[in-house]
Chains A and B, each alone.
Chain A
Amino acid sequence: MSIDIRGLYKRFGHFTALDHIDLHIPAGQLVALLGPSGCGKTTLLRIIAGLETADQGSILFDGEETSSRHVRDRRVGFVFQHYALFQHMTVFENIAFGLRVRPRARRPSETQIRAKVHELLALIQLEWLAERYPSQLSGGQRQRIALARALAVEPQVLLLDEPFGALDTKVRKELRRWLRRLHDEIHVTSVFVTHDQEEALEVSDQIVVMNHGRIEQIGTPEAVYDTPATPFVYQFLGNINLFHGRAHSGWVRLGDLRVQAPEYQDAQHAPAMAYVRPHDIDLLREPEDNDSTLAATVTRISILGSLVRLELKQTSDGEIAEVEMTRERFAADPLQTGDLVFVKPRHLHVFLEGTESAASVPMHWHGDGGGI
């Protein structure tokens, strides 16, 4: 079932948590609400669930207004960051709870409840834990039980609030892959909140990037990573190098580097920022002519598993830049601390400083040797 959010506005005292949010979540998709803490993503999720009420705006499930519907009648499944399992009930009773509290007329028989719970336990592959108590389980197991409990009431929408936030890295990775596979099986419209960009990129169909109570960008993981709409999205998703410079008549100058930016044809000496991902940089031993490289010194080399990260200090202004390359590539021409190199971005985005509208039109530039 699809979710439509229209003009949602919410304040807590003087703090604006949600600033007129409009969002459409198509049926059957797994959508990530991604943003730093305090950006309003959890508030949005809780308002969709009905655990919080908005000051303005409406939420429609399949085109039907839900604001007036009580949380228990919304048929949503909610998974909490800290699981919120019922401590005094066994795993079985936790999962059965949603079925047992139904009004007598709609309550399934004991045999049906038993069958349903065992079906869900099989789905989460934890059948052997039915008689345990939550305190006897690991974090990963608890979160899977919490998910089964949410699914027991056959929700129309599944909402997950930082579902893997309290788990350690390894379990988190396992569990999010498992969630993705599960979603591919059951196809219930799902929204999950996360501040972990890697998690959002790996699991979701669509990412909604939020900041200061507003939506910065909506798109597929590929789209938000490759063509960020705003500097914020660029910074939030993945590591970046930032170069300051000026845009003038369709060109942007960043120190010694000069790149073409036809979008900024009308700009006259406008302050500009260029973003480059660490893996989108080539390092050359010799400078290229026609202003397509920046001189820098290698100040630090760290080996991170399959990657090598180099820290560079730009010769012109002393700014630090970060470059990542594969071990193989590094081995082909090993650099050493103190070496002089020439930085050649393969891929960069230019935003004009301070102008939100211009920033939403990113320039896309592919360096092709001496083309500039």
Chain B
Amino acid sequence: MTGPTRSRQRPAASEPPLIRGLLIGIALVFLTLFLFVPLIAVFYEALRKGLGVYLAAITDPYALSAIRLTLLSTACAVPLNMLFGVAAAWAITKFEFRGKSLLITLIDLPFAVSPVIAGLIYVLLFGAHGWLGPTLIQQDIKIIFAVPGIVLATVFVTVPFIARELIPLMQAQGTEEEEAALVLGASGWTTFWRITLPNIKWGLLYGVVLCTARAMGEFGAVSVVSGHIRGLTNTLPLHIEILYNEYQYAAAFACASLLTLLALAILGIKTFIERYTFSQRRPPTGGDTL
């Protein structure tokens, strides 16, 4: 009796079909308009004048140099932030010390500060008229309007990504496994490599992926410190802007499609990591039976 009637009833916790359909519809329309259509538009515009123009645009020497610089600043920013992120998360979650909340706040600073202001800070510090500018000019070190400035700005903007990813993860894991390792006679170094790192590796990878995406796409801060010198201090996003301003739409969109492809690849990696960590997630510790 109850079987068939129950199967026709909707579960107590769900909404009526009309409302459900409406909510899903709104979400789909929104996503299509604001995400999917622009995505298609990028590739459509990039290829509108044919494959030849597309290939020419991305093999242009200035474009190639912009790609190189983008990859270089990413390759500098990501390992640096990996090192800093792991160290900071380790310190914050496994130890008690003075100034801990200050450190947490500082990690969040790049999120709070507009990237343009971050770039300006470096100009004020290292620029020709900045605090350290004259000293640097004497030593013949160029930071602003040069590659080091771009790397610095990228590092600054991407600082929070890895640390922010690891802190909640390591907090949730607690220190018991590390304590167990210590009691069993492991040194701090061994404990880090053999217990802590394997436990955070997926979170770390996830942080690295996000950090990479941000590092490659960074515009504001880099724009301020770069000086837009073609072939020298132009990153891919800056190159796209220049092309666009010069009405070279096809070329601009071609380079934009490159960035988009990189972003999509990163998104793919991120999804894979999420799925993997989900399947690997440990079952709850309490309440299980023999």
Contacts and interface: CB of A to CB of B under 8 A. Distances in A.
A138 B286 CA distance: 10
Given A72-B187, A87-B199, A166 B179 contact: no
Contact of A101 (B177, B179, B181, B199): B181
Contact of B183 (A77, A87, A140, A141): A77
Interface string A174-201: 1000000000000000000000000000
Interface string A72-89: 111011101011111110
Contacts of B283: 135
A98 B181 CA distance: 8
B246 interface: no
A95 to B, nearest CB: 10
A71 B194 CA distance: 18
Interface string B181-207: 111111100100011001100000000
Given A97-B181, A98-B184, A101-B184, A82 B176 contact: yes
Contacts of A146: 180
Residue of A51, A76, A102, A140 most packed against chain B (CB within 10 A): A51
Nearest to A97: B184
A153 interface: yes
Interface string A56-100: 000000000000000111101110101111111000000001100
Contacts of A134: 282
Nearest to A46: B179
Contact of A138 (B179, B198, B290): B290
Interface string B216-244: 00000000000000000000000000000
A135 B282 CA distance: 6
B290 to A, nearest CB: 4
A76 B185 CA distance: 9
Contacts of A317: none
B186 A80 contact: no
A51 B183 CA distance: 8
A363 B198 CA distance: 60
Given A87-B199, A139-B288, A71 B183 contact: yes
A152 B180 CA distance: 13
B289 interface: yes
B285 to A, nearest CB: 4
A171 B288 CA distance: 10
Nearest to A138: B290
A77 B182 CA distance: 11
A87 B288 CA distance: 16
A71 B184 CA distance: 9
Contacts of B176: 80, 82, 84
B290 A86 contact: no
Contact of A72 (B186, B287, B289, B290): B186
Nearest to B281: A135
A161 to B, nearest CB: 10
A153 B183 CA distance: 10
Given A101-B184, A101-B187, A135-B283, A140 B177 contact: no
Contacts of A101: 181, 184-187, 190, 194
Interface in A37-67: 49-51
26 contacts: A51-B179, A72-B186, A76-B183, A78-B183, A80-B180, A84-B176, A84-B177, A85-B177, A85-B180, A88-B198, A88-B199, A98-B184, A98-B185, A101-B185, A101-B194, A138-B289, A139-B288, A140-B289, A141-B290, A149-B180, A149-B184, A152-B184, A168-B287, A170-B290, A171-B290, A174-B290
Given A80-B180, A102-B185, A153-B184, 19 more contacts: A72-B184, A72-B186, A73-B185, A76-B183, A78-B180, A80-B176, A84-B180, A86-B180, A86-B195, A87-B282, A97-B184, A134-B282, A135-B282, A138-B288, A139-B289, A141-B290, A146-B180, A166-B285, A171-B289
Please give me the 3 A-B residue pairs with the lowest Cβ-Cβ distance, nearest first. A98-B184, A140-B290, A84-B176
